[in-house]
Structure 1
Amino acid sequence: MSKSAIVIGAGIVGLATARALATRGYQVTVIERSEKAVGASIRNFGMVWPIGQPEGKLYERALHAKSIWKEVLTGADCWFYEGGSLHMAYHQDELEVIEQFAEVSAYRPVKVLSAKDTLEKSPAVNPAGLLGALYSDDEMIVDPREAIAGVPRYLQSKLGVTFIWNTAISRIEYPTVYSGSKKWSADEIFVCSGQDFETLYPEVFAAAPLTKCKLQMLRLEAQPDDWKIGPALCGGLSLIHYDGFKAAASLPGLKARYQQDYAEYLKWGIHVMASQNGLGEITVGDSHEYALTFDPFDREFINTMILDYLGTFARFKSPKVFQTWHGIYPKMKNGKTEIVLKPEEGVTIINGLGGNGMTLSFGLCDEVVGGTYQEL
């Protein structure tokens, strides 16, 4: 008789856990408090982003996750685009960082492009003052809103996963989980609750180095005439945001300049990227504020700063904004990429992936369920 498992939460971490369990023969039930996932997993760029990960285990995990994404999205008949990424350089110190990164990253499919080659790669790049760009072939874009809705259909139809929606689990006493008078039992329980880490095992989470991050984002309307931007686009500020670029020796110098030239941007954790979905819409962001509780109100000046900086490296056929929002995700305070805890026998918590959820979850959860996970 096959083993059973309950997964609490149908965001990307919960879905990745459910897939890892189901492919290993478990009878899996996913229980989600809302009628569909509406948290951080649908409020992001949809970027599967290996270039942001440092060399070694995290980079390999990102590539593994990407391969699972392709398998699942193909099975779910969902759109994805393997267009790679461009990080533009408009100052000599930015160009030095990307040249150094490319030089020490022989294991990655990256190259430094001239200004001319960059403009050929994407018609959306701002040519004014452009020195060149780093092109990476690794990155893939999914539409998070479509994907996070499509993956459950795939898991249900292809792998026999059961989904219970509109049901908040408020208590666990292994092997049973409770929602009011309703209860379910399983051999293993996985808590993948994202930013809601106050409800289940609150003492465990309170003792962990976790906080929350609020990000403001925007979406531009579908571009006219089916116009495509090609790769995901990034400005120089993204070079100091992702750990992968720490391999470049001159990165501290670039960061020091930004601390002077872009002090207000760094205060609000702003770096700017743009990705285009299958409908032609362009997602732009983002900012980063850290706390356990946030005001529910977005700051218009942050959106203005994001759009102003976007204009330094990208120009679109239509710049019309038709949606703005914010997302909140859990974030480790100790520099780790995730937290995996066992609060009691038979129960596993997977949380804290921060902005790496879309990039790493499928790989991480495959390791945790498969017994190969090692904390980095």
Structure 2
Amino acid sequence: MAINQVHRADTAVVGGGIVGLAHALAAARRGDRVVLFERDTYAVGASIRNFGMIWAVGQQRGAAYRRALRSREIWQEISAKTGLWAAPAGSLHLAHRPDELAVLEEFVATTEPVRERGTAMITAAEAVRRGPAVREEGLLGAMWSPTELNVDPRRAIPTIARYLVEEYGVDVRFGTTVRDVSAPVVSTTAGEWRADRVLVCSGNDFATLYPQVFAESGLVRCKLQMLRTGVQPGGWQLGPMLCGGLTLLHYAAFEDCTARAALDARMREELPFHREHGIHVLLSATADGRLTIGDSHAYAATHDPFADERINAAILGCLDGFAHLPDTRITERWTGCYPSLRDGRTELVVDPEPGVTVVNGVGGAGMTLSFGLAEEVLATR
């Protein structure tokens, strides 16, 4: 009678997006034997449908900002070892209205940690010199931050997976579904595993494993719309990643600024469609010179799969207000979906049973926060 083989690992990770990859890396760096399971044959979720922005300056002040800076360091370490494109482009928050300028000035004046990292207000002329896409007409000033990295998510995610295999011997198993976890046993379509620690980093699939945890978590799904241009002509480069006034209403870093209330009131009056659909506009680049533009935000338990061209038009209209591109032709449009906590928490970390930790809910900041978060999670387990 044949006996089914049971494989062994110190740490098993469920999910091959950026959160799962980051936790596999943190465990492997501790010396663990690590196996990672991803049900798809390659990553297709939120981890490749984003801007590729490692966006420290927008995170909550305090622990989240420090976590983002640590993640940035790890991105740079991986880039140095693999050749992964991770451009230290920095970012420009552009102010074309007085209330936008007021929020930025207050943020810089009241946030010493970002000043220590080189964040500063600059003139309109200096912003134009730094960013070839910056629209000068009506520009009052800008906030320059040097801490933001630009990566190409469609290249970065598979590169990290290969790095885990080649550098640390992680057993990365794409195309393998985890059917059940009853610690220490992990049951998969590729057999059973025993692991001392199981990390469930399942992203948008929070109905399969430990559904009760997620039912009680407050997580909802955020649907977004994004666009991308073709390669810009003549080797043109974006330089710093760009954003405008609506972004100041989206990121937690600016929530405590008293000047934000006046900006919010004006935006609700002048741009009700944008506020209804959670639109704010960011511009980043890919490794080969394409430009990624977005995005919108809709929150619900379930979303229809359809893109609304009115939203795309609103995004492009806002972009035109603060940036000009050599070639504006759109070559790709897509929707994305990620889990989001709507109560101010930056992550969901729960231990549903001994030896199992669920990590989810990093929202749209997975690329920015995951490496630092993983180190923190593993340090306590």
In structure 1, the partner of 2:58 is 52
Q: Secondary structure at the match of 1:171?
A: strand
Q: Secondary structure at the match of 1:107?
A: helix
* Alignment partners' CA distance in 1, 2:167 and 2:92: 36
* Alignment partners' CA distance in 2, 1:224 and 1:338: 40
**How far off its partner does 1:180 sit?**
4.7
* Superposition TM-score, scaled by structure 2 size: 0.95
* Alignment partners' CA distance in 1, 2:316 and 2:179: 41
**How far off its partner does 1:107 sit?**
2.3
In structure 1, the partner of 2:309 is 300
* Alignment partners' CA distance in 2, 1:189 and 1:25: 15
Deviation sequence 1:278-310 (CA, Å, 0-9, x none): 200000000001111111111111111100110
| 4+ long deviations beyond 4 Å | none
> For the Cα contact (< 8 Å) 2:9–2:35, is it kept in 1?
no
1:107 aligns with 2:113: yes
* Superposition TM-score, scaled by structure 1 size: 0.96
1:336 aligns with 2:345: yes
* Alignment partners' CA distance in 2, 1:81 and 1:13: 21
* Alignment partners' CA distance in 1, 2:231 and 2:224: 22
Aligned residues: 371
Gaps of at least 5 residues in structure 1 are none
Structure 1 window deviating more from structure 2 (246-255 vs 294-303): it is 246-255
In structure 2, the partner of 1:135 is 144
Deviation sequence 1:8-50 (CA, Å, 0-9, x none): 0010000000000000010000010011111000000000011
In structure 2, the partner of 1:70 is 76
Q: Secondary structure at the match of 1:358?
A: helix
1:88 aligns with 2:94: yes
> For the Cα contact (< 8 Å) 2:351–2:357, is it kept in 1?
yes
> Which residue of the other structure, out of 281, 287, 307, is the alignment partner of 1:272?
281
Gaps of at least 5 residues in structure 2 are 1-7
> For the Cα contact (< 8 Å) 1:73–1:147, is it kept in 2?
no
Structure 1 window deviating more from structure 2 (8-17 vs 46-55): it is 46-55
In structure 2, the partner of 1:21 is 27
Output the amino acid matched with 2:209: L
Q: Secondary structure at the match of 1:211?
A: strand
Deviation sequence 1:310-345 (CA, Å, 0-9, x none): 000000000010001011000012220100011111
Deviation sequence 1:72-92 (CA, Å, 0-9, x none): 222222101111100111111
Output the amino acid matched with 1:71: E
**How far off its partner does 1:128 sit?**
1.4
Q: Secondary structure at the match of 1:138?
A: coil
* Alignment partners' CA distance in 1, 2:95 and 2:147: 19
> For the Cα contact (< 8 Å) 1:20–1:370, is it kept in 2?
no
Structure 1 window deviating more from structure 2 (216-225 vs 103-112): it is 103-112
> Which residue of the other structure, out of 223, 228, 231, is the alignment partner of 1:222?
231
Output the amino acid matched with 1:4: D
* Alignment partners' CA distance in 1, 2:84 and 2:170: 18
Q: Secondary structure at the match of 2:254?
A: helix
**How far off its partner does 1:181 sit?**
7.4
In structure 2, the partner of 1:262 is 271
Output the amino acid matched with 1:188: R
In structure 2, the partner of 1:155 is 164
1:150-189 correspondence to structure 2 within 5 Å = 150-180=159-189, 182-189=191-198
> For the Cα contact (< 8 Å) 1:76–1:153, is it kept in 2?
no
Deviation sequence 1:168-193 (CA, Å, 0-9, x none): 11211111111357222211111000
RMSD: 1.3
* Alignment partners' CA distance in 2, 1:203 and 1:180: 23
